[in-house]
Amino acid sequence: MSNLNRLVIGISGGIAAYKIPQLIRLLKVNGVETKIVLTPSAFPLVGEDALRTVSANQVYRDGLVNYDMDHIRLAEWGQKLLVCPATANTIAKIAHGIADNLLTTLALSFRESQIIVAPAMNTVMWESRATQENICTLKRRGIIVLPVGFGKLACDVTGAGRMLEPEEIVSYVLASSKSDETLKGKRVLISSGPTEEPIDPVRVLTNKSSGKMGVALAREALIKGAEVTVVSGPSNAVFPSSVCVRKVTTAQQMHDVLHEEFANADVCIMAAAVSDYRVVNYSESKIKRNESGSITLELCPNPDIAATLGAIKGTRILVGFALESSNDESLALAKLEKKGCDFIVFNRADKALGLDSTSIVILGRNGFRKAIDCTDKSVAAQAVLECVVSKPGR
């Protein structure tokens, strides 16, 4: 059930602005009242009268006399701000906190978790590094960025950059406003990122992991009403501010902190890429280059944290991840058993590492299997948490 009733739509100057009256009508059918804000370059592209008529509200734009601080009043009124279409220029301004018109000022007046952006632009502009970096900035801060469509654009080019169709935007907006509270009162513990094992004061053994899956899992658990604690290895991942983040470096530290937190947890999701080995003899001084040949590092195994938690889990739900370089799901099933997990999320290194998207297969007890191909990590995280809630196969 979506609990969205009041939405502010900010229209910036993309040709797709002509689709907004249709979007407003669809939202109205779904019980959402809208107020519209136009940037100066959107103004000539879409009929103000049409917007006023379908929204049944005044249309807001720069240049109108305003004694009532519209940006603050609109941010108080709206539960969310949908920037749609969002041009490269408006996206850049929001990413950099520039507030030079009513819409961008409004974007600063909403909390980042309340903002949804539906980009629309020419393919080269969409793919430019400047735009992609700005998109990453928005996502990192918790702003929802909808995907762009692929197809023929107004500029006659065929490629990525089309604004999604109004029907698709409505379903994303309603889905992002769902608060199902299915994990209300539950404590969800998530391990995230890599671990680092020191070799000497300047060198470490580590695994590739961006922490993006950990962030997506934390967000989805919050949406479901859980209290979320993340034990994170060294990474640049930014977690929502209501998550309790405990930073660690080595696998042993991650083991110790997870065991401490596990005592109070109802669910534990092991998304971290834990280093399986550490060096036996840490060198207090930097190891010198050996010009005459190779050197040997002796490694010993780290504790298998998931397995040690699996051994004491009781009624808690334990989810592991199995990142493999092949398609052989039996490797993941063996880990499900060995680690005593309730579910194991099988994914391929080449389809997941460092990316915003992933392809996963969730494997559970009694033959449970759910595959999700090429999807955003937030959608994958949603599927994992839905398994935690409904416990299929248990």
Other residues' Cβ atoms within 10 Å of the Cβ of residue 272: 29
Q: Which is nearer to ligand C5P, 38 or 254 (CB)?
A: 254
Rounded to an integer, what distance in angstroms lies between the CA atom of residue 249 and that of residue 272? Answer: 12
CB of 342 to ligand C5P, least distance (A): 12
Rounded to an integer, what distance in angstroms lies between the CA atom of residue 235 and that of residue 214? Answer: 11
Q: Which is nearer to ligand C5P, 57 or 359 (CB)?
A: 359
CB of 204 to ligand C5P, least distance (A): 16
Q: Which is nearer to ligand C5P, 274 or 317 (CB)?
A: 274
Q: Which is nearer to ligand C5P, 167 or 337 (CB)?
A: 337
- Which residues in 135-156 are b (16+ Cβ under 10 Å) and which e? beebbeebbbbbebbeeebeee
CB of 276 to ligand C5P, least distance (A): 5
Rounded to an integer, what distance in angstroms lies between the CA atom of residue 303 and that of residue 232? Answer: 17
Rounded to an integer, what distance in angstroms lies between the CA atom of residue 56 and that of residue 119? Answer: 25
CB of 203 to ligand C5P, least distance (A): 20
Q: Which is nearer to ligand C5P, 109 or 302 (CB)?
A: 302
Q: Is the peptide bond before 85 cis (omega within 30 degrees of 0)?
A: yes
* Chain center to CA of 18: 30
Q: What does each C-alpha distance from 324 to 89, 309, 348, 353 come to in angstroms?
A: 40, 22, 5, 11
Name the catalytic one among 155, 244, 268, 374: 155
Tokens 């083991």, residue?
255
Question: Which residues contact ligand C5P (rule: CB under 6 A)?
Answer: 191, 251, 270, 272, 274, 276, 302, 304-306, 320-322, 335, 339
Q: Is residue 374 annotated as part of the catalytic site, yes or no? A: no
Tokens 């504790």, residue?
303
* Chain center to CA of 110: 19
Helix (H, G, I), strand (E, B) or coil at 228: strand
- Token representation of residue 303: 């504790």
- Token representation of residue 328: 């052989």
CB of 243 to ligand C5P, least distance (A): 18
Q: Which is nearer to ligand C5P, 38 or 306 (CB)?
A: 306
Q: Which is nearer to ligand C5P, 267 or 270 (CB)?
A: 270
- Cα four-point dihedral sign 327, 330, 333, 338: negative
Element (H, E) at 188: strand 187-192
β-bridge mates for residue 345, sequence order: 321, 362
Closest CA to 29 of 170, 224, 236: 170
CB of 227 to ligand C5P, least distance (A): 21
CB of 188 to ligand C5P, least distance (A): 15
Residues designated catalytic: 155
